[in-house]
């Protein structure tokens, strides 16, 4: 994938180190010593695309420059707010330090050169192996004025699952943040009424966390017991 090109044809080399989120061993999901295939010793690190060096290509540099300039005008050092910038598969991602998220979002919305008017909500991702930053909140912002789409990613540790709310900037995030709270337990500080939205109000736990089981029962099919989906072999 290192020769992948972004939308404007400028090669976007990736940081070789990337972001390690886990290590897989073996191949056939048989982790109890039953794997006699010889693949049991296989070790594979799971790496997400790492930071991209400049230039990002196309309008990505323009957006990054404008954002950094606008943050500096507000006496906020861009390198403090933007942890890293990733260009992958023609999409631009800013990893934002969580305490600066509202400032960055407001700047992205209001700056005439940026104008990301539409937020398409927040999506939670739980990386169990990403120690110290397990919970990720991912926002996609669309600029109708300029016809652009960018992604903001914020992370929080499992031990302190707090992210500032963006409802004051994008009121549409009201239900989206409730949904992410409901499923991941991410607490959006400053949300006007952060309650469960899908699950019953008295539900215990946060179902879409990776350590929350799917549940289900074994089913008999043609005389054989077919285990529940989360008990079946998962090819690692």
Partner 1 sequence: MTTPHATPRATTEGTVYTVTGGDWDEVVESAVKSDDERIIVNMGPQHPSTHGVLRLILEIDGETVTEARCGIGYLHTGIEKNLEFRNWTQGTTFVTRMDYLTPFFNETAYCLGVEKLLGIEDQIPDRATVLRVLLMELNRISSHLVCIATGGMELGATTIMIYGFRDRELVLDLFELITGLRMNHAFVRPGGLAQDLPPGAVDQLREFVKTMKKNLPEYDKLATGNPIFKARMQDVGYLDLTGCMALGATGPILRSAGLPHDLRKTDPYCGYETYEFDVPTADSCDAYGRFLIRLEEMRQSLRIIEQCIDRLAPGPVMVADKKIAWPAQLALGPDGLGNSLDHIKKIMGTSMEALIHHFKLVTEGFRVPAGQTYTAVESPKGELGVHVVSDGGTRPYRVHFRDPSFTNLQAMAAMCEGGQVADVIVAVASIDPVMGGVDR
198-224 burial: b if 16+ Cβ within 10 Å, else e: eeeeeeeebbebeeeeeeeeeeeeeee
The stretch near partner 1 (CB under 8 A) out of 35-43, 61-69, 75-83, 164-172 is 164-172
Prior bond of 16 cis (ω within 30°): no
Q: Is 8 helix (H, G, I), strand (E, B) or coil?
A: coil
Q: 197-203, long-range: CB within 8 Å, 24+ apart, which pairs?
A: none
The stretch near partner 1 (CB under 8 A) out of 34-42, 100-108, 176-184, 219-227 is 176-184
Considering only residues 43 to 62 of the shown chain, the ones binding partner 1 according to CB under 8 A are 44, 46-49
**Contact (CB, 8 A) for 100 and 76:** yes
CB of 89 to partner 1, least distance (A): 6
Q: Per rule CB under 8 A, is residue 23 in the interface with partner 1?
A: no
Taking the CA atoms of the chain, what radius of gyration do you get in angstroms?
A: 21
Total interface residues for partner 1 by CB under 8 A:
58
CB of 64 to partner 1, least distance (A): 18
Residues near partner 1 (CB under 8 A): 1, 4, 21-22, 24, 44, 46-49, 88-91, 93, 117-121, 123-126, 138, 140, 142, 144, 147, 149, 151, 170-176, 179, 183, 195-202, 204, 207-208, 214, 229-230, 232, 234-236
């Amino acid at each position: 994938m290192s020769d992948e090109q972004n939308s404007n044809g400028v090669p976007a080399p990736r940081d070789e180190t990337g972001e390690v989120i886990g290590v897989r061993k073996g191949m056939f999901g048989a982790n109890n010593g039953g794997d006699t295939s010889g693949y049991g010793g296989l070790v594979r690190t799971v790496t997400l695309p790492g930071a991209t060096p400049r230039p990002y290509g196309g309008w990505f540099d323009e957006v990054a420059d404008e954002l950094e300039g606008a943050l500096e005008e507000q006496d906020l050092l861009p390198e403090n707010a933007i942890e890293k910038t990733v260009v992958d598969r023609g999409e631009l991602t800013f990893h934002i330090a969580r305490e600066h998220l509202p400032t960055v979002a407001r700047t992205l919305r209001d700056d005439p050169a940026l104008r990301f008017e539409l937020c398409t909500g927040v999506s939670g991702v739980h990386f169990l192996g990403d120690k110290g930053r397990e919970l990720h909140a991912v926002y996609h912002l669309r600029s109708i004025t300029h016809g652009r789409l960018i992604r903001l990613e914020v992370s929080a540790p499992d031990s302190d699952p707090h992210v500032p709310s963006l409802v004051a900037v994008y009121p549409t995030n009201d239900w989206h943040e409730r949904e992410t709270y409901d499923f991941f337990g991410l607490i959006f500080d400053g949300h006007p009424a952060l309650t469960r939205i899908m699950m019953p109000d008295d539900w215990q736990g946060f179902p879409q966390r990776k350590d929350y089981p799917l549940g289900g029962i074994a089913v008999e099919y043609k005389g054989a017991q077919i285990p529940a989906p989360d008990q079946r072999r998962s090819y690692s």
